[in-house]
Amino acid sequence: MKKASFAPRARADLRAALLWYREQDIKISRRFLEAVNNCVARLVENPRIWPLQEHGARRALLQRFPYSLYYQEVKEGVRIIAVVHNHRHPDVWHSGLSDDQTFRG
């Protein structure tokens, strides 16, 4: 059975977004997490649904929230590598990654 995993960077991104939404309204933070979980479930089922981007990653748009999940298809399923607000510069998701986190394309 295929599964999803989150890179440490993606976990930190998600945590920051959840905290921000929680400060706004707890119900919205729950909806945001539900949107992330639904998106991840779809990616596990069909990882090639979104087009290939640079660095061998794909970008999935969240429904109802201005966020994208950057991910890679791996043998075990999908690896979420970043959770990025759509108003940020498109290159921000891979800035600051170390050489051991390079992506296979």
pLDDT digits (tens, 9 = 90+) for 61-71: 999 999 999 99
41 belongs to a structural domain: yes
CA distance 76 to 63: 25
20 belongs to a structural domain: yes
Classify strands 58-61 and 67-74 as parallel, antiparallel or unpaired.
Answer: antiparallel
CATH number of the domain at 64, please: 3.30.2310.20
pLDDT digits (tens, 9 = 90+) for 40-98: 999 999 999 999 987 889 999 999 999 999 999 999 999 999 999 988 655 655 554 44
The encoded tokens of residue 6 equal: 């989150």
Q: Where in the sequence is the domain holding 33, given as residue range(s)?
A: 3-88
36 belongs to a structural domain: yes
58 belongs to a structural domain: yes
Residue 67 burial (C-beta neighbours within 10 Å; 0-12, 13-18, 19+): buried
